Structure 1
C-alpha cells in the first residue's frame, strides 16, 4: 500500500481513487458494499464513513484478487439470478443475466403448453440456478438437474435447500449417462467456448470444463441434441444456450437430428444466445 493510499480513510476518498480505475466499477463498489455489509445506497449517503482497519485490509485483499482475475461473485460467494441469490464458488459458473432468457423461454413455452404439470431435465446444472429457478417458477412441475461434478452438485443442493426448491432433485451424470425416463423439457447451458477463443484469457477463475468444448465449441451441444430425442416426450422442448456467433451452426445441428420448430432467440444485447427445437412424432 502506498503512502497516498494509507491516507485514504473515507468512502469519498476510496471512490475518488477508484473512479478511473481499470477494474469494473460494479466490482469494486460491490466488494466495498460486501465488506461494509451495507446496501449500495450507503455509498451515496455516507461519504464521510471511515473504514475500520479490518475492513480496509479485507477490501484491499479483495481488490488484489480481482486484479488477478477473480470475479466479484467468487469473493462474495453469491450471485443474483432471476431475482434470487445463489451461492457460487470456483466449482460452478457464475450465473449471467443473459441466461435468464433461457428461463423466460421455458416459462413462455410452459404457459402455452396444454400440460398442467411436467418434468424438466437440466443438464450440467452447476450452481443449480436454471433448475431451481424453473422449480420455483413452475411449482407444479418436477425438475431433475444433473452434473458430472460432485463439487458443483453440492453447491446446487445447498442452493435448493436454502431456496426451498423442494421438487428439484439432483443426480450425478455426464449428460445422459445415468438418465432414465422421459421429459417434457430439456434445458442446458453447456460448454460452448472454442478452445482457441480469445475471450478465455479473461475467464481464468471459472472452471474450464464448464466453459470450453471441442469442435469450435459445438461438441457438447451436438451430444445433447443427438441424445435428447430419446428422452423427450412428443412435442417436448429442447432449449440450449450457446455463443453469440453459433446460432446458425446450432440450428443446423438441431435440424440434423430431426427437431421441429427450430429457432434461435436473442439475449438482452441482441445477440444470438439460445436455440430451441421440438421433438416431433418420430424419434
Structure 2
C-alpha cells in the first residue's frame, strides 16, 4: 500500500490517544528509522510504497503506541545533544530540558576559558549528560555514578557507541560517607517529582519509565539534592560549580538549601519559562 495511505490509518488509530502533532512526529520518526526517508522526501515522492513486511513492523509498533509505550523504548534509542543514545526501561528517556543544562555548563566553561576539568555526573542513567560533556570537552575527565548496575550497563554501551571514555561508579549517593574527587564540576539530574505531582504525568511516563529515577516522597522532596550538596561541600574544589536540574515548584527551597550550605547560587529558566536549573559555586 501507499505510505501516505498508511499514514492516514496511523493517524486515525492514534487520534484518541495523542495530539495530532505528536502523532505526526511518531510517524516521521518511524519512517526515518526504518525506511531511511524524511518527511520532505515522502512529500516529494507521494507514490512511495510500503511493503507487507514494513507494514507488519509498523502495525506492531502502532499497537504498542496505543498502549502508550514511549516510542524511544520501542525503537531502543533516542537523540540527545546531537548524539544517539540507547534507552530501555532501566533508564529515563533524556529530555530537552536536560540538554539546556548541558548547554549551560558548556557555555560557562567557554566564557571562563577553563582548561581540562574533572567532572562527575551523579545519577547518570543513560549517561546522556556525562557523555555529551565528554564529547564536547575532550580534555576533561568524566565520572558517571549510578546506584543501578543495569543503568550503568546502558551508559557503558552509550559511551562506547559515542567513542568517549568515562569512569563509572556503582554507588548510592545517599550512603556515601567519604569525599569523592576532588572535582571541578558536579552535575546531577536526580529524582525530583513528588508523589502529589503524579497526576500531572502522562501515561507513557507513569506506566513505563523507572519510578526510582523519577519520584521522591512528598515529605522529603530534596533528599537527593541535600545529599549531593553535602557531598559537594567536601568533593568540589574551591570555586568549583554544582549544577542541578530541579523541580520548578521547589526552586526557591532548593536555592535556599544550597545557600545555607555556602554556595553562591544562580537559578535559570528553561525554554518554557520554568525555573529548571540551578548553579552553585563553592566559596
TM-score (normalizing by structure 2): 0.89
- 1:151-203 deviation line (CA, Å, top 9, x unaligned): 1111111111111113x221211127286321000000111101121134521
**Residues 204-253 of structure 1, C-alpha deviations (whole Å, 9 max, x = no match):** 21111111112364221222122221111001100000122221121112
* Residues 13-28 of structure 1 aligned to structure 2 (within 5 Å): 13-19=5-11, 21=15, 22-23=17-18, 24-25=22-23, 26-28=25-27
1:211 equivalent in structure 2: 214
In structure 1, what is the Cα distance between the partners aligned to 2:28 and 2:152? 30
Q: Quote the offset at 1:111 in angstroms.
A: 2.2
Unaligned runs of 5+ in 1: 1-8
Which of 225, 228, 231 pairs up with 1:227? 231
Q: Would the aligned equivalents of 1:131 and 1:144 in 2 still touch at CA under 8 Å? A: yes
Shift of residue 116, structure 1, vs aligned partner: 1.2
- Kept in 2, the 8 Å contact 1:173–1:179? The answer is no
Residues 95-133 of structure 1, C-alpha deviations (whole Å, 9 max, x = no match): 111111111111122223364111001001011110011
Extract unaligned runs of 5+ from structure 2: none
What SS is found at the alignment partner of 1:273? strand
* SS in structure 2 at match of 1:69: coil
Distance 1:112 1:237, change over 3 A: same
Aligned-residue offset at 1:18: 3.9
Match for residue 127 of structure 2?
A: 128
What is the rounded CA distance, in whole Å, between the counterparts of 1:267 and 1:143 in structure 2? 25
Contact 1:265–1:273, Cα closer than 8 Å, also in 2: yes
1:199 aligns with 2:200: yes
Per the alignment, residue 180 of structure 1 pairs with 180
Normalised TM-score (structure 1) = 0.89
RMSD: 1.9
Query: Partners in 2 of 1:191 and 1:42 — Cα distance?
Result: 40
Alpha-carbon distance in 2 for matches of 1:28, 1:218: 39
1:271 aligns with 2:282: no
CA distance in 2 between partners of 1:51 and 1:172 (Å): 46
Structure 1 Cα separation of the partners of residues 208 and 2 of structure 2: 31
Deviations 1:14-48, CA, capped at 9 Å, x for gaps: 22234462432212331243232433333322322
Change (3 A) 1:58 1:190: same
How many residues are treated as equivalent by the alignment?
270
> Equivalents in 2 of 1:180, 1:232: separation in Å?
9
Q: Which runs of 4+ in 1 moved over 4 A?
A: none
